[in-house]
Chains A and B, each alone.
Chain A
């Protein structure tokens, strides 16, 4: 076979969803993912995935696996449908339909960023798509995050380096401030660094907001730092305040009020200046799970269909119900690797049906496992960038089965079973 290249492919290695990847295919393997960062290269890898269909540990025909899955789900008393990463919006839509049909609890890794979502439901938010930050920002504040670690091309594609309408000289048109919150360091390439302890973080944000609203000025170390930073932000034309919405890589728990304090500060800065809060999200179309759940049910995650309609249970989602032993059967759709550790461990304790990339190799040993391709590598469709911009997926390889088709086939069996 000859080499061929798929241009303008979208990488779901992180939430940046860079759509300028040239995927070079040699035979049935990916030889190269040009323009991608180390994270992207690891995500594409050589594109090989297992192609198993298993039930109770044995290799079976797809029809048998689907029939077994339908039987298990049909008998479930308290089913869970979990939208893991690496599936397209089309697959997510089909999986939410299954949850609706089953009266299941629906959840996804969006629960990992619940604090931010709940805060935005109380307050709203001041945001922008990433491209607008590129066009406008003259001050970029990296709040306890260096995007180089988990969002490697964020700085080169969006917030810092590229030129924009109001940043004609790219990096030179912008001032970059790194706020180091304990071990969570801001961007390395900064014009100024400010250090805050994790204990002082929420107080500092609240103080900055008070300064912006013209209510206080302060003495003391934290107050001085906060006043200086807040003043700088007020004097800017357009501030991008960048933070990582995902759980800390250092295992630190964010203060429960941090997300709301960030939103409140960003909102208050609109008035004296313009400001967008940029909330970094991980890849695999995680943002799609939250968008799809929202439009189909009205709620972004932790949706319980048990009463016969969607109910919001942000404090009784998958992790909690699995932990309490309330779930008897789980349908996981997506990559097991992207499932938060607590949920993944609990899935080993219940009957699990798994449909998605590499599910046959899942550590929690699903009762039924149907391997599919990875959305964006083997499957097309739509995925959302971290800022909710929808992008097309351009598969370079063909996969074992298409996840959306498998989930729809399962749904059809469930419908037939009930009529």
Chain B
């Protein structure tokens, strides 16, 4: 099938960014983009009776780079249990690749499986700039999907020094330089200050005003500095924040305080479920989803992805190394810790969320509460923080939970009731997501939050990333097996089979900065770093 032209004919189109909600119309593609019209003789794909949406966009996922690969190396038994033979591709010159799955699939299998799920864009959400070169290599071996990476900042020594010295402008220039050098797309903050304290002496921060090395540096100052930098640099996506105190009972207070600290500034709060716990540390757990989501609802400058927990195997994998230490200490499970010089950390613990475990059931319920109580689907979008809350392959099941109240209520009855009793979910949340709302939380919303103006919609000029589903009343089945997926105008999935695997594009930003910062950085590298300043950038920097 030619890449040049294709008419997707007669499907029910869900293109919420352009106000289309199930209208039956044709979608026309030419040279990888959506066009208004095509000549009558253009090739046709019969989509009658089917649902047509833009390709899925994953705003937060861990799919490539040094931490992900440490996790992969840790899971030989998962890989052995989930072999993935090479797909049979239509192009005889193509080199289809075999691989393995599990919660952290091999790179080629990751690309194939995302595409097979109807996703055409994914963001790798946590890359140490020092190891960005590695992440790019893996993304080069992850076919089909367009991908970007978020550069980890907020525990890096150079930044903390600038904050301590009150050098906000230099901090901003540095953020721009490091984002460019990493070939990154957005600034990611993970447990601001907490990872540095873990490396300095095995402790974490507990709140926004704890001193990090010096009283002049606190999580609050780090958050403000980087949020302001992202705004000043006019980045397409605001700061992407993993708050302090992840996974702790009572952490909703920290989450809300963080939101208030950044009031008026644009900010994206990631895997909000892991930050919406009430109760008291070491004593009790309960849902605080309602308080947290009400704040989000009332503040249009705030956005979030949910980080839903799904029952089954997961691998917890984060730069928030002190959290993984605690998880290891309490669970006794395998544990990887890697302290990353002058920048960040890495912690990994394979995990399983069990329906009969009280806390896992509560986490599951809190994620659903966030979804069901969110008033604006454009600002509260879908993620499982793959593979932390579960694999991206569990998205179809999650979609069914959102769309089908009967199913959801049945599932709720099967989980441990100890902590979910009295939650909003247990009291009965009637809401059922519509197909249009699903299209928002899985493509249109994430694309808009990421500032990807050519993605997440089917308007003229958009990237021709399109997913076509059979309109199955079993929504899990429908979303697990799209009939056709088109990426950049190429039909990659045909009649449910992966048939083509083009190379995806890399999404990156190159914000401007005052070059004077590089002189200071060079001095700092010479004095402190173990990699030459000249060898640090993962991608060519403009002159």
Partners in one complex: yes
Binding site for B on A (CB under 8 A): 7-8, 10, 19-20, 89, 93, 97, 100-101, 117, 120-132, 134-136, 157-158, 164-166, 237-238, 267, 270-271, 273-274, 276, 290-291, 294-300, 305, 307-312, 382, 384, 388-392, 411, 415-416, 419
Given A124-B336, A274-B201, A308-B85, 4 more contacts at CB 8 Å? A165-B342, A296-B106, A298-B102, A389-B341
Asked whether any CB of chain A lies closer than 8 Å to the CB of B69, the reply is yes
Contacts A295-B106, A312-B80 known; A131 to B93 CB distance under 8 Å? no
- Which of A126, A298, A307 has most B Cβ within 10 Å? A298
11 sample A-B contacts, Cβ–Cβ < 8 Å, listed by A number: A19-B531, A120-B74, A121-B74, A129-B130, A132-B342, A165-B200, A295-B68, A295-B141, A312-B80, A390-B538, A419-B92
Question: A128 to B345, alpha carbons, bound, how many Å?
Answer: 9
- Measured between beta carbons, the chain B residues less than 8 angstroms from A166 are 200
Residues of A within 8 A of B338 (CB): 125, 127-129, 388
Contact with A along B525-536 (1 / 0, CB 8 A): 000111110110
- Expressed in whole angstroms, the minimum distance between the Cβ of A268 and any Cβ of chain B is 11
Residue on A nearest B106 in the bound complex, by CB:
A298
A270 in contact with B86 (CB, 8 Å)? no
Contacting residues, chain A, for B337 (C-beta < 8 A) = 124-127, 267, 270, 276
Q: B98 near A310 (CB under 8 angstroms)?
A: yes
CB distance from B352 to the nearest CB of A (A): 16
Decide if A305 touches B98 in the complex (CB within 8 Å): yes
Taken residue by residue from 48 to 69, chain B's Cβ proximity to chain A (1 for < 8 Å, 0 otherwise) reads as: 0000000000000000101011
* Bound CA–CA A261/B152 (angstroms): 33
B residues less than 8 Å from A312 (CB atoms): 76, 79-80
Q: Which of B66, B95, B334 contacts A122 (CB 8 A)?
A: B334
Contact A130 B530 (CB under 8 A): yes
In the complex, what residue of chain B is closest to A237 when comparing beta carbons? Answer: B201
The answer to whether B133 and A382 touch across the interface, beta carbons within 8 angstroms, is yes
| Cross-chain contact A8 with B99 (CB below 8 angstroms) | no
State which of B64, B84, B133, B202 has its C-beta within 8 Å of the C-beta of A274.
B202
Q: A124 contacts B334, CB within 8 Å?
A: yes
Query: How far is the CB of A383 from the nearest CB of chain B, in Å?
Result: 10
Contact of A129 among B97, B133, B341 (CB under 8 A): B341
Task: Answer whether A89 and B137 are a contact pair too, CB < 8 Å, given A132-B199, A310-B83, A310-B98.
Answer: yes
Bound-state Cα–Cα, A120 to B70, Å: 10
Shortest A310–chain B CB gap in Å is: 6
B213: nearest chain-A partner, CB-CB: A165
The answer to whether the Cβ of B134 comes within 8 Å of any Cβ in the partner chain is yes
Complex formed: what's the CA distance from A382 to B325 in Å?
31
Answer yes or no: B73 CB below 8 A from chain A CBs. Answer: yes
- Tell me the complex Cα distance, A374–B74, Å: 31
Given contacts A123-B334, A125-B336, A270-B337, A310 and B100 within 8 Å (CB-CB): yes
Contacts of B435 in A (CB 8 A): none
Determine the main DSSP class of B at the interface with A. mixed
- Residues of A within 8 Å of B74, CB to CB, are 120-121, 124
Chain A positions within 8 Å of B95 at CB level? 97, 101, 411, 415
Q: Which 4 A-B pairs have the closest CB atoms?
A: A131-B341, A298-B79, A131-B530, A298-B100
- B86 CB contacts on chain A under 8 angstroms: 100, 308-309
Contact of B339 with A by CB under 8 A: yes
B287-346 residues with Cβ-Cβ distance < 8 A to A are 325, 328-329, 334-342
B residues in contact with A131, CB < 8 Å: 341-342, 529-531
A132-B340, A166-B200, A295-B141 are known contacts. Are A309 and B69 too (CB-CB below 8 A)? no
Q: Which residues of B contact A274 (CB under 8 A)?
A: 198-199, 201-202, 339
Q: Please tell me if the beta carbons of A124 and B348 are within 8 angstroms of each other in the complex.
A: yes
Q: Which chain A positions have C-beta within 8 A of B72? A: 294-295, 298
Complex CA gap A271/B203 in Å reads 10
Q: Which residue of B80, B138, B340, B349 contacts A295 across the interface (Cβ within 8 Å)?
A: B138
Taking a contact as CB atoms closer than 8 A, the residue among B75, B98, B133 that contacts A100 in the complex is B98
Q: Which residues of B contact A164 (CB under 8 A)?
A: 528
- What residues on A are CB-neighbors of B121 within 8 Å? none
The residue among A130, A274, A305 with the most chain B CB atoms within 10 A of its own CB is: A274
CB atoms of A389 and B531 under 8 A apart = yes
- Check A296/B97 contact, CB under 8 A, given A124-B335, A131-B531, A390-B137: yes
Question: How far does the Cβ of A164 sit from chain B's closest Cβ, in whole Å?
Answer: 8
Nearest CB in chain A: distance from B50 CB, A: 32
Q: CB-nearest residue of chain B relative to A382?
A: B133
Evaluate whether A390 and B98 lie within 8 angstroms (CB atoms) in the complex, with A128-B338, A270-B337, A419-B93 already known: no
The answer for the CA separation of A19 and B133 in the assembled complex, in Å, is 15
B108 contacts chain A at the CB level, 8 A cutoff: yes
Q: Any chain A CB within 8 A of the CB of B107?
A: yes
Inter-chain CA distance A124–B80, complex, in Å, is 18
Q: Please, which residue of chain A has its CB at the minimum distance from the CB of B101?
A: A298
Q: Which one of B99, B202, B530 contacts A270 once the chains associate, using CB atoms below 8 Å?
A: B202
Q: Does B488 contact A (CB under 8 A)?
A: no
- Asked if residues A300 and B201 are in contact (CB atoms below 8 Å), the reply is no
**A-contacting residues, B165-222, CB 8 Å:** 198-202
- B131: interface (CB < 8 Å): yes
**A120: chain B residues within 8 A (beta carbon):** 73-74, 336
Min CB distance A111 to B, Å, is 14
A416 contact set on B, CB distance < 8 A = 93
A309-B98 contact, Cβ under 8 Å, with A389-B131, A389-B531: yes
Q: Is there an interface contact between B131 and A20, defined as CB atoms closer than 8 Å?
A: no
Task: Give the nearest-CB partner of B348 in chain A.
Answer: A124
Is B157 among interface residues, defined by CB-CB distance under 8 A?
yes
- Determine if A390 and B131 form an interchain contact, defined as CB atoms under 8 angstroms apart: yes
- Say how far B168's CB is from chain A's closest CB, in angstroms: 22
CB distance B339 to A276 under 8 Å?
yes
Contact B341 A135 (CB under 8 A): yes
Contact across chains for B141 and A93 when beta carbons are under 8 A apart:
yes
Pairwise interchain contact B336-A19, C-beta atoms closer than 8 A: no
* Residues of chain B contacted by A97 (CB below 8 angstroms): 95, 97
List B contacts of A305 (CB < 8 A).
98
